[in-house]
Structure formats: structure tokens, C-alpha cells
Amino acid sequence: MNHPEDLLPDYAMGLLEDEEQKRVEAHLQVCPRCRAEVRALREAYYSLPLALKPPPPRRRRRPLLLFAAALAALLLVLAVPAYRQARAGAELLALLARPEARVETLRAEDGQFLGRVVLTEDGEALLVLAAPPPPGKVYQAWGHTAKGPVSLGITAGRVLRVRTAGFQAVGVSLEPPGGSPRPTHPLGRVPL
């Protein structure tokens, strides 16, 4: 009897092609020695994972990653306002350093102080408001002409740099996030 001993390990693991598998199965029908060999191979294969030492417990990184992400978010929340304030201060100093710069006080109609506007002869203005807008609102800058107001931009902060060339006045209003097509709550303006 010709025993397919070289094919038995692959048969035990289910790695044989169809023709070879059929040939080994036909042989196993009539050969108790090869059947015992296949049984022993399968037991060895299936017991192998049980004989291995389990890997050491992995350090859980998820809590560490969540902590790192929370710390980064906190730093960002703290750093962004400081960065914005520093940048606004630098912009203000750069405009004030120009010899032609003039500073106007921005007041409401009732005289309430709203902030300052730094104007330059080349048509730049920096609006520096005394307080940030209330929650759920933004400041919107407007250039005023004889035809009406034109939006110059919005900010959820206290500083807004705009171009004022071609306008008779620059003003600010309090608007919903995203701004408005026309001023809905004008606060004040400065003639140019």
C-alpha cells in the first residue's frame, strides 16, 4: 500500500487542492494508520495555541489618548483667545505706527462708549470694540455710502480689520451668527 504521508500534514490543516484531497480521503477510508496520523496531526495543530503563553496584557492606551486629546483641546481653548488678542494688539500697533493714522471713538447714539476705530489714509480701519458680542451674536462692520450700507465683514471677537476706501462712514452692528444683509441692530458709526 502506498501511503500519502507527505500530504497528510496539509490535509489535516485543510490546505490540499480538490484532486489531492479526494485522493487522501479515499486512502483514509482503507488505512487506519494514516487516519491515526491525521488525528494526531490535528490534535497537535489545535493544541498549539493552548500551549503558547498568553501575551502580556496590553497597556490600555485609549484612556491615555482621550486624556491627551482633552488636554490639547483645553490648551487650544486657552491659547486661541490669547493668540487672537496678541495678533489684534500687533495689528493695532502697526496701524498706530503709521504717521497718518488717526483714532476715533466709536459711540452709540446715546453716547455709550463702544470702542475705538483706527483709520489710515490708504483706506484701512481697525475696529477695536470694548467687549465681545453677547453669546449667539456677532459684530458686523458696515461701510456707509449714499446708496446705503455695505457689509465689510463679521467677527465673534472684539477686533475687525476692514477696507474703508469709497465709503463716507464705517460702523458696526450686532447681528446673528453669519451676519445679515442689512444692519438689524446698529450700534454706532464713525465718519471717514
Q: Does residue 70 fall inside a structural domain?
A: no
Residues 124-156 have pLDDT tens digits of: 888 888 888 999 999 999 999 999 999 999 998
Are 106 and 182 members of one domain?
A: yes
Q: Does residue 34 fall inside a structural domain?
A: yes
Per-residue pLDDT, averaged over 53-65, amounts to 53
d(CA 73, CA 75): 5
Are 165 and 101 members of one domain?
A: yes
Domain count, the chain: 2
Q: Does residue 58 fall inside a structural domain?
A: no
d(CA 128, CA 107): 12
Instruction: Determine how many CB atoms are found less than 10 A away from the CB of residue 26.
Output: 11
**Location of C-alpha cell 483706506:** 123
Q: Note the pLDDT of residue 54.
A: 47
pTM: 0.55
Are 102 and 169 members of one domain?
A: yes
Q: Does residue 101 fall inside a structural domain?
A: yes
Are 104 and 180 members of one domain?
A: yes
Q: Does residue 62 fall inside a structural domain?
A: no
In the predicted model, what is the mean pLDDT of the chain? Answer: 80
Q: Does residue 32 fall inside a structural domain?
A: yes
Q: How would DSSP label each residue in 114-138? A: EEEEEE-TTSEEEEEESSPPPTT-E
Per the DSSP assignment, residues forming a β-bridge with 173 are 140, 186
Are 45 and 110 members of one domain?
A: no
Q: Exposed e or buried b for every residue in 58-94, given b needs 16+ CB within 10 A?
A: eeeeeeeeeeeeeeeeeeeeeeeeeeeeeebeebbee
The CATH number linked to 118 is 2.60.40
Percent of the chain at pLDDT exceeding 70: 71
**Element housing 23 (H / E):** helix 18-30
Q: Does residue 75 fall inside a structural domain?
A: no
Segments forming the whole domain that contains residue 121: 94-191
Are 124 and 36 members of one domain?
A: no
Are 36 and 111 members of one domain?
A: no
Q: In terms of C-beta distances under 8 Å and separation of at least 24 residues, what long-range contacts does 38-46 make, across chains too?
A: 38/8, 38/11, 38/12, 41/8, 41/9, 41/12, 41/13, 42/12, 45/12, 45/13
Are 12 and 99 members of one domain?
A: no
Q: Does residue 65 fall inside a structural domain?
A: no
**Location of C-alpha cell 456677532:** 138
Q: Note the pLDDT of residue 188.
A: 94
